[in-house]
Amino acid sequence: MQDLDILIEAGAWDAATLEPLAQRAIAATLTHMQVDPQACEMSLLACDDARIAVLNAEFRDKPTATNVLSWPAQPLAPEAEGQAPPAPQTGFDGMIELGDIALSFDTCKREAAESGKQMDDHLTHLIVHGVLHLLGYDHISDGDAALMEGLEVEILGNLEIDDPYNSDTTNTGA
């Protein structure tokens, strides 16, 4: 990825692990979606439950912790349910500003443990999920959810990570 800014606010995060994992997940997602990763810029906030709960309350009126939040830089909603959104546009500098993602270590770690998944696999899934949100995908309606989840499964499969929506599988990758 051309320009990825990572801000680690919570000490539980390991920058040496998070940065390459994020780079890999973002590049795989953008490449799968036919967007040049080298033309993109975005930021990633690595925080804890307390911080993400404040952000979730402020931006979604939900004062609870969550695993991932996304703030797209461009409004890319599709025209109809179940359709792909339009491609992101480049700015005057030739770069595509995607937006921002926040991840909570506490929630991610708890969810990975509860589901028997490797933390790295779960984080990869959440980063893929967040990037798809930045690209205009959503899961509010059934048609949009089916499209987004299908893309997540394909992208994660390309990264040799099991389908996170199949409760019969446990991720065994690193």
Q: Which residues are annotated as a binding site?
A: 129, 133, 139
Gap between the Cα atoms of 51 and 172, Å rounded: 30
Measured distance CA(141)–CA(161) in Å, rounded: 25
The first and second tokens of residue 11, run together, are 């000490």
User: 97: part of which helix (H) or strand (E)?
Assistant: strand 96-104
Q: Degrees (nearest 5) of the Cα angle 54, 14, 28?
A: 85
Q: Which residues carry a binding-site annotation for Zn(2+)? A: 129, 133, 139
H helices of the chain, in order, are 15-32, 49-60, 105-115, 119-134, 142-158
Are 111 and 165 in contact, with CB atoms under 8 Å apart?
A: no
